[in-house]
Chains A and B, each alone.
Chain A
Amino acid sequence: MKRPHIPRVFLTVTLIFTSSLALASHPRSPQESSAKSKPVALTAEERLMIERAVLSDKRVREIVGEEKPRILIADPETDKAEAEAFLAGTTEKRPSRRVSVAVFNPKTSKAAHVLLSLDEIRVLEVREIKEDDVPFSREDAEDALALAKANPDVRRAVGENLERFNLLESGSDARIPFAAQALPLRSTNPRDPCSTNRCLDLIFRTEEGYLPVRAHVDLTKRTVTVESRQGREKGEHP
C-alpha cells in the first residue's frame, strides 16, 4: 500500500475545509431545508388525556360546577427559556410543552383557565376567568343553529331549505350545498344584552352565494332575531 504524501493530505483537508465554509455561506436550499413537516397539533389521545386531567381536577370543578363543561383546548406552546437553551445547544433536553385550556359551564356562565404540562399531563395552574375570555365552540354554534331552525322568522327568511343547513368549520374545504356559519360578536352598549351575553350571528351560504339573511342569536337568553338589511348610512357618500 502506497503511503499518502503529506501535500495530498493537506490538499484533501483544504478541499474539505473550503467545502465546509462554502456550506456555511451557501447553506442548504430552502426546498431542502423546509422539506420536513411534523404535525404540531395535539393528537386525539392527547386531547382525551387533557380532558380527563381537567375534569378530574377538584379546583376546576369548584369553579365551574359538577356538570360536564365545555372544554376548549389551545394548541401547545413550548417553554421559551427551555427552547432557547435547546436551540443554543446548551441542553439536550427538549423544551417542555404547555397547553392552555378554557373550561366553561354555559348554564352557570362560570369559566376556568387551566394550564397543563403536556409532557406530564399534569395541571400546573387553575384560575377563574371571565366568560369574556372563553371562545365560542362548535357546541355553541350548533346550539345557535338549533335555536335558529326553531324560529319562525328565520324559517320565513331562509325558506324551506332551512333544515338542510349544516355547520361548516372554518378552514374546511368541504363544498356542502347548505352551509351555516357562526360569527361571534360583542356589544359595547350596556343596554344591549350582547354586552354581557354570549351572542352569535348566523349566516347562510348556498351554492349561489350567501342568502340575504342574518340570524342574531343570544345564547344566554336563548332568543333569535332576524336582522333587517342595513343600507348606506345617512351622511355618507353614495
Chain B
Amino acid sequence: MNGIRSLRNCILAIAFGLASASIAGGQVPHTTAVSLDRFFLYCPNAIMQNFPTIGPAQTTWLICWREVAGNNSIANPNGLVIGPVYFRKSPGGPFFRVLWDMRVSDYFVPYHPGNPRFYDLSYFNFKLTSVSAADCPACQGGGPSSPHVCKEVHDRGLMWKDSGGVRRGEELVLWGAIDAYNYRYIQEYTFRDDGVVMGRMGATGQNLPRSELVTHVHNALWRIDIDLDGVTNSVSRLQHLEDPNNIAGTATDTATPLATAQGMVWGARTHDALEVTNPVFKNAQSHSSGYRLMPMVTGGGLTQHYEPFTHNEFWVTPYNPGQFAAKNLPTYVAPNPSVANTDIVLWYKGSLHHQPRDEDGAYNAFGNWIGTAHVMWTGFMLMPHDLFDCSPFYKPCP
C-alpha cells in the first residue's frame, strides 16, 4: 500500500510540476520567465485577464499597476503607472514581458500669447482624483479597482469582418484622472485581446480663469519602458516613402536601426513608427517579433514649441532609473548613449490643440465662467508585429 501511495504521490508531483512549468512559461527558451506566485506577491494590484472573457482563453494579460502620489513628481512622476506587464499569446504558451513601466512623464500646456506655460504634472505633484460608480459604471464592464483607478472590461467593436463571417473584439481598460485643479487629465491604458496596448490622454475641465478664451495646447509626454521578452532590445525607425510625382505609383518601406539615443519628428505622410525587437524573440515562422509605437493623432497635428523637448514626437533613450523628466530629454540624449541591444525607453509626445469654443462654457452676468470643456483625446498604440504565428482569432494557422 505504501508503494502505491508513493507512486501516486510521485505521479501527482510530476503532474503538478508539469502544470506549474506550463504556467511559469519555463518550457520555451529565450523567454524571461515569470512565476505567477511571485508576480502576485510582487504586485499589490495585479490583474490577470483572459480573452475572450467567455469560453476558453486564447490570450491572457498579466498586468501590474500602481498609483504614484509622492512629492517629487519630476524624479518620479505621479499618476497611474502600468507595469510590469506580461502577455500570453496562446493558452498553453509562456508569458513574455512587454512593459516594465509605462506612465505619463508630464503635461506641458503653453498658451498662445507666450504665457502662461504650465507643467501640469511634474512641478506641483498633482495626484489622481477619485472615481466612483458614476464614471466607472458596472453596465460598461467597469468597477473601481481602487478609490482612484477604474477598470473596465468590454467589447471593443469589430475585430474583423470578411466574406466568411465576423468577429468582435474585447479589451481591458485601466484609467485614472489627474487633478490639475481647473483641469482633469485622464490617463487611460488599454490592453486588447489581440496584444495591442494603447495609451491615451483625455483633457477635460474648466478653462483657465482669466484666459478662458485663449487657445492653448495640451501636450502629453509618455515614458514607455518597453521590455520585449526581456531587456535586450533594439529599435528601428520605420517610414513609408512615396513620391506623389512618381507616375509608377510605387512606394517603399524603410527600417533604420537606431544606434544612439535621439529624438525624431513624426511625419504624417510617412507613417513614421518605432519598432522594438529582441534578437532572440521570434514566432514559429522564425520572424522577428516586434512591437510598434504608432501615434494616434487627433486633429491632424502634433505641435512644437520653443522648449527643445517639444521638438520631437519620438525619443529613444537607454534605461536609466534616474531619468523620468520629459523636460530633460535633450540632456538625456546629448551624450549619444547606445540604444542597440540594450534596455531601452521610448518616449512619445501627443498634442491636443484646444481652441476654446462656446460649448466649453460662457460668462454669466457676474463675469464668472460657467461650463466645462468636454474630453478631447490623443495617444499612441503599441501594436504587435509578427508576434503571433497567425491570428488566434480567425481560423487555425495553416
Contacts and interface: CB of A to CB of B under 8 A. Distances in A.
B198 interface: no
A233 to B, nearest CB: 6
Interface stretch (A5-13, A55-63, A146-154): A5-13
Interface stretch (B120-128, B161-169, B248-256): B120-128
Interface string A66-103: 00000011110101100110111100000100101110
Nearest to A70: B71
Contact of A209 (B1, B130, B206): B206
Given A88-B32, A88-B35, A33 B123 contact: no
A184 interface: yes
Contacts of A204: 209
Contact of B47 (A13, A30, A113, A201): A30
A27 B50 contact: yes
Contact of A113 (B67, B75, B118, B126): B75
A136 B76 contact: no
Contact of B24 (A9, A34, A36, A89): A89
B225 to A, nearest CB: 8
Contacts of B12: 13, 16
Nearest to B112: A233
Given A27-B48, A74-B72, A214-B208, A136 B369 contact: no
B286 interface: no
Contact of B114 (A86, A87, A98, A189): A189
B127 A171 contact: yes
Nearest to A6: B4
Nearest to B363: A212
Contact of A170 (B7, B146, B153, B179): B179
Interface string A222-238: 00000111111100110
Nearest to B357: A237
Contact of A183 (B15, B118, B363): B118
Contact of A230 (B15, B56, B210): B210
A40 interface: yes
A184 B121 CA distance: 10
A77 B122 CA distance: 17
Given A13-B8, A100-B72, A86 B38 contact: yes
A133 B322 CA distance: 12
A75 B76 contact: yes
Contact of B355 (A88, A132, A186, A237): A237
Contacts of A27: 36, 48, 50, 57, 60
B34 A9 contact: no
Residues of B contacting A: mostly: loop
Interface in B34-61: 34-36, 38-40, 42, 44-50, 56-57, 60
B119 A186 contact: yes
How big is chain B's contact interface, by range? 35 or more
Interface string B6-29: 011001100110111011100000
A227 to B, nearest CB: 5
A113 B72 CA distance: 10
B285 to A, nearest CB: 23
Contacts of A16: 12, 15-16
A21 interface: yes
Interface string B201-233: 000001011110111000000000000000100
B129 interface: yes
A80 B318 CA distance: 14
Given A87-B84, A135-B123, A187 B180 contact: no
B329 interface: no
B15 A212 contact: no
B8 A12 contact: yes
A83 B42 contact: yes
Contact of A101 (B19, B72, B231): B72
Interface residues of A, number: 92
Interface string A32-58: 011011111110000000000000000
Interface in B164-194: 172, 178-182
A87 B42 contact: yes
Contacts of B182: 181, 203, 205, 210
Contacts of A186: 117, 119, 123
Given A37-B146, A102-B75, A181-B182, A212 B50 contact: no
B368 interface: yes
Given A30-B48, A89-B24, A184-B119, A214 B210 contact: yes
B19 A21 contact: yes
A73 B18 CA distance: 46
B383 to A, nearest CB: 24
A230 B211 contact: yes
B44 A38 contact: yes
B100 interface: yes
B80 interface: no
Contact of B210 (A95, A212, A233): A212
B115 interface: yes
A96 B16 CA distance: 32
Nearest to A172: B179
A87 B68 contact: no
Given A25-B57, A40-B44, A203-B182, 9 more contacts: A9-B11, A20-B16, A34-B151, A72-B72, A73-B70, A102-B75, A135-B122, A136-B125, A188-B117
Q: Which 10 A-B pairs have the closest CB atoms?
A: A20-B19, A171-B127, A100-B75, A75-B70, A74-B72, A74-B76, A184-B123, A25-B91, A181-B181, A17-B15
7 contacts: A10-B11, A12-B8, A41-B70, A80-B321, A181-B182, A183-B180, A228-B210
